[in-house]
Amino acid sequence: MTAQLPDGLPGELPAAWQAKLAGYSWAAQNIGRSNASVFCLTASGQPRLFAKTELVCGALGELPDEAQRLRWLAAQGQPCPQVLDLASTHDRHWLLMTALPGHDLASSPGLPAGRIVAIAATALRTLHGLDAATCPFDHRAAVRIEYARLRMQAGLVDAEDFDDERMNQTPAQVFAALQQQRPAHEDLVVTHGDACLPNLLAADGRFSGFVDCGRLGVADRHQDLALAAWSVRHNLGAGLGAGIFRCLCRRRRSRTPGVLPTARRILLMRNPAIGVAPRPIPPAPGLPSGTMPARDCRRPCATLPKSPG
């Protein structure tokens, strides 16, 4: 028995996967604009799986990094897909993972908007509460700005992916603004790195796990706040973006006055070189339980630097 592969599967499966995935049907997951292709694998009597594949592009590949981060995150007791295998062919990386229960928070019509915001805030607060000193992945501004420069010089920044605030600017102009606006202080925590609602899952009204963790690392807390607020506004309504700030900052505000994020810092963290400049796409209602969509907002290899660790 062989795996029932979709038409147009990019590249040949790793040899070790041929027998391992015999009997599984592959369905492409088309939400998002990730450079990685994402597939949901199903077979009668077998657990649902997810596979991701991307072209090998040297230090700019993301799937080996994602596998490392998922393993570290699981070791911290945080819910996330289990890495079953990471393999490479001559031109592609392949990542095989378990599915998580539930639906992503952008595709959970049964949950009230306020509950979605509360679930997202609780998940991010827990993640940010991990001991950053034990996290081996450095995503601080100096590291990410240097990788942004390398990507810009390599011609890998796609100006068509810029958000409305930076539309019609060149990558060089956006990078120059980033350098000028870099904050003197970073509020360092363990961040998800792509904290949009499609990357946070819930089952039975409770948080069930993080997905798409290829940019997890130590970085400024406001990076996650900026992306989460944008995603809440986009997926749930313009008036709800501030709600996640209130949920995330409520406890810290009482102890440390002035920690609420400023508009300038939030704007900086959405810079496509250091954070994300998302372009809206519709949410994808009706995805199957355990769906792990591709990135919500952009093609990552073209816009966002990442650390080598």
Q: Which residues are known catalytic residues?
A: 194
Residue with tokens 């810009």: 152
Rounded CA-CA distance 119/96 in Å is 27
SS3 213: coil
Rounded CA-CA distance 191/125 in Å is 10
Rounded CA-CA distance 241/281 in Å is 17
Strands (DSSP E) contained in the chain are 25-29, 37-42, 49-55, 83-88, 92-98, 103-104, 188-191, 200-203, 206-210, 217-220
| Tally of CA atoms within 13 A in the half-sphere of 244 that contains its CB | 29
